[in-house]
Structure 1
Amino acid sequence: MARKTAKNAQEILMADFQALVFDAERLLEHTASLAGDQAEELRAQIKESLFKARETLEETKESLKDRGQAAVVATEDYVQTNPWQSVGIAAGAGFLIGLLATRR
């Protein structure tokens, strides 16, 4: 369950960033009709920013994937080796959340 949730969150985040980069690229293509040195300079800056954004996006994607996978594996290992402690922690957390929810 946790594995699916983490994967879905990562996929949503990646899709959002990819849509942002795609939209910026389309904007860059539409500004190609502009003339002048300033327009050309602006397009060059946008291209450089998009290139850096793509690199950062790929690095972030791999980092999130690795960290998410490590967290899921560590949690599953802990729960499998300490099932009763896990149940106790979950019950305690549920009790505290219940107390906080009833105070409002």
Structure 2
Amino acid sequence: MTSRFFARQRTVEGTSNRLGKDLRSAVDDANYLLQDMANTTAEEFATAATRIGEKVAEARDRFDDARLAVSKKARVAADATQEYVLDNPWKLIGVAAAVGLIIGVLASSRR
């Protein structure tokens, strides 16, 4: 189960990295188009505005796709966690007790 979780985590990280690159690319393209529009005619301005609109729509689509992918991955991770908790309640109770004991020992030794 943990190998599946880490594989999914790497997939989410890859999606996040691609999304960041796509966002930077869209912003760079928009900046370039805005700088290029400084000395343009009305027709060129309309063409540039259309291109900017297309870039924004592409970025929005990518964000929606990434949001859905991350949401799906989070649901899968939550389901896997719930399944593990239901299948191994005593292990989790033991781990929680051990962590509580360690925190208690550390807290009492600092006084």
SS of 2:40's partner is coil
For the aligned residues, what is the CA RMSD? Answer: 2.7
Alignment equivalent of 1:20, drawn from 25, 32, 45? 25
Percent of pairs identical after alignment?
6
Matched residue, 2:64: 59
> How many matched pairs?
82
Structure 1: any 5+ residue segments left out of the alignment?
82-104
Matched residue, 1:69: 74
TM-score of the aligned structures, taking structure 2 as reference length: 0.56
Residues 24, 49 of structure 1: alpha-carbon distance in 2 compared, 3 angstrom cutoff: same
Q: Name the CA distance, whole Å, in 2 between partners of 1:35 and 1:11.
A: 36
Alignment equivalent of 1:45, drawn from 36, 50, 56? 50
Q: Deviations over 1:43-85 (max 9, x none)?
A: 210221133123212211211112223444566778899xxxx
TM-score of the aligned structures, taking structure 1 as reference length: 0.59
Q: Deviations over 1:12-67 (max 9, x none)?
A: 11112112111111111221223213211112102211331232122112111122
Runs of 4+ in 1 over 2 A off after TM superposition: 67-81
Q: Name the CA distance, whole Å, in 1 between partners of 2:77 and 2:14.
A: 14
